[in-house]
Structure 1
Amino acid sequence: MIRQLVKKELTTKFRRSSLGFLWIVLSPLLLLGGYTLVFGVLMKARWGGAGTSGEFALVLFSGLIFYNFFGEVMAKSPALIYGNQPYVKKMVFPLEVLNWSVVLSASVNFAIGFLTWVVFCLVVKKSLPMTVLWLPLVFIPFALFTLGCSWLLSGYSVFHPDAEHVVPIVLLLLMFLSPLFFTVDSLPENFRVVIQYNPLTYVLEEARGVMIGGRSPDGMVIGVGAAVAVAMAWLGYVSFTGNREGFADAV
């Protein structure tokens, strides 16, 4: 059932497009090109040891694929139940698998983005750090955390439709409050506290460490992150299933 929903999620998105699934690769590359032009070329931004625009784009892309994964799931979650009313009203259906399908389809996009990053890294740096093999240890807890957020948000949005309009604004703010375009160390001391409360900060820092920094992930950060992910998944699932009986009346 989940496999069919993931297939539907991926094919529906590109059904009317002449380039089809090629947009999975083109979309992040076009975004990367725009961000690199603005921040790397026009504003001359540099990231740590990134001395060229190509190296800056490589660092930026490594964070962008994680943010895009989270943003894609969160953007779809508010309308997830309302957009699948036949499953809610006309049949007995495990509605929680809808969130699984969104997360897994976003994971496919993440995997393709990562493979694109690997090719880009080989072109720019002529090599790939072996520590990149640690990446699943960073991504899997993050995906579980995202799934919990999706359950929580999709269930909440059934009774509070305004969330569908608020989420894009929050995602935009989250982009600029995450270390996507800058390092945490480059910020003023009093502002770093705000960034540290952003859960994406730890994911992006650990991901860049294994993808570019050539280091293994911090065991403490990964352990705490996994515990937070399990707690969020449990909270989201309990909230979703607890309110499920009221979905049919609300949509």
Structure 2
Amino acid sequence: MNPHAEPPASLQGMFRTLWAHRHLIARMSQREVIGRYRGSTLGLMWSFLIPLFMLAIYTFVFSVVFRARWGTGEESRTHFAVVLFAGLIVHSLFAEVINRAPQLILGNVNYVKKVVFPLEILPVIQLVAASFHGLVSVVVLLVAKLLFTGSVPVTALFFPIVIFPLLVLTLGLAWALASLGVFARDVGQTIGLVTSVMLFMSPVFFPIQSLPAPLQPWMQLNPLTFIIEQMREVLVWGNGPQWFGLFLYGVISVGVAWLGFAWFQKTRKGFADVL
């Protein structure tokens, strides 16, 4: 890696960079996942136990205490926790990456000042680690679905296709926020507030159809709304995804990812001066 060369900022350069550093991304992502539980007795088992425990709590609170129903059917109450958990998986994956993005460069100053290192892969590593935990949560959800209904919909195979556009969008936002976090330290606090608001402004705890008709289009502007709805379609309800919607979402996500990558590459030369 030539430290004096102009970092690539084109769309083609973005794909080339990710491919060129794929082995380093894989190794550092593995270290990130394992390092989170280093020193604990159960180690990596916590990645399975935590979502299992949370799902059990949601099932008890919403199905037993609140007797909540998602819709009007008889099975809506018993499946409320599973439906809720599907939405939380999407939000948690998104929030984990976005909340940590503004601190990525600040927390790895040694990579900026002392080592020739591809800084642009730091958000990718966080995304891969968060995706691993999201995948574990999906496995827990499908096991719960099997226990509750006796079957898992075959449409669950579409899960990778449904979640991939969100991963691309999240990566683009993470690149932009990682750069902004270096120059504006308040970004980290602001993003934490934004992701908290997005939890309640997304159809996580309620179906979007429960909103008044004039408000539903505004809810659709939330980038998490469409993916949450599609996740439930393929994992819970057994319906196929909306292919055109996913295609359009994917095109927009690639555009956001490119803009975030280009911004990161154009501003990275100033990181060392600020840090």
| TM-score tier after normalising by the smaller chain length | over 0.9
1:129-208, aligned counterparts within 5 Å? 129-208=153-232
Q: Segments of 4+ in structure 1 off by > 4 A? A: none
* Shift in CA distance, 91/164, structure 1 to aligned 2, threshold 3 Å: same
Aligned-residue CA RMSD (Å) = 1.6
Q: Is the contact between residue 51 and residue 140 of structure 2 (CA under 8 Å) also seen in structure 1?
A: no
Structure 2 residue aligned with 1:20, among 43, 56, 70?
43
1:10 counterpart residue number = 33
User: What's the CA shift for 1:189?
Assistant: 2.3
Structure 2 residue aligned with 1:65, among 80, 89, 96?
89
Letter in 2 for 1:8: R
**Cα distance in structure 1, aligned partners of 2:74 and 2:225:** 19
1:94 counterpart residue number = 118
Which stretch has the larger CA shift, 194-203 or 63-72?
Answer: 63-72
TM-score (ref. length: structure 1): 0.94
Which stretch has the larger CA shift, 175-184 or 163-172?
Answer: 163-172
Structure 1 residue aligned with 2:66, among 34, 43, 47?
43
Q: Which runs of 5+ in 2 are unaligned?
A: 1-23
Aligned length: 251
* Shift in CA distance, 52/209, structure 1 to aligned 2, threshold 3 Å: closer
Q: Is the contact between residue 179 and residue 264 of structure 2 (CA under 8 Å) also seen in structure 1?
A: yes
Structure 2 residue aligned with 1:233, among 226, 237, 257?
257
2:9 counterpart residue number = none
Letter in 2 for 1:159: F
TM-score (ref. length: structure 2): 0.86
Q: Which runs of 5+ in 1 are unaligned?
A: none
User: What's the CA shift for 1:119?
Assistant: 1.1
**Cα distance in structure 2, aligned partners of 1:152 and 1:50:** 45
Which structure has the bigger radius of gyration? 2
**Cα distance in structure 2, aligned partners of 1:142 and 1:188:** 26
Identity of aligned residues (%): 38
**Cα distance in structure 2, aligned partners of 1:71 and 1:89:** 28
**Cα distance in structure 2, aligned partners of 1:171 and 1:20:** 28
User: What's the CA shift for 1:219?
Assistant: 1.6
Q: Is the contact between residue 36 and residue 53 of structure 1 (CA under 8 Å) also seen in structure 2?
A: no
* Shift in CA distance, 111/4, structure 1 to aligned 2, threshold 3 Å: same
**Cα distance in structure 1, aligned partners of 2:50 and 2:187:** 25
Structure 1 residue aligned with 2:269, among 221, 245, 249?
245
**Cα distance in structure 1, aligned partners of 2:74 and 2:252:** 32
Letter in 2 for 1:9: E
Q: String of CA shifts for 1:180-235, please: whole Å, max 9, x gaps.
A: 11000001223223311101000011111111222111122111111111011101
For the residue of structure 2 that corresponds to 1:15, the secondary structure is: coil
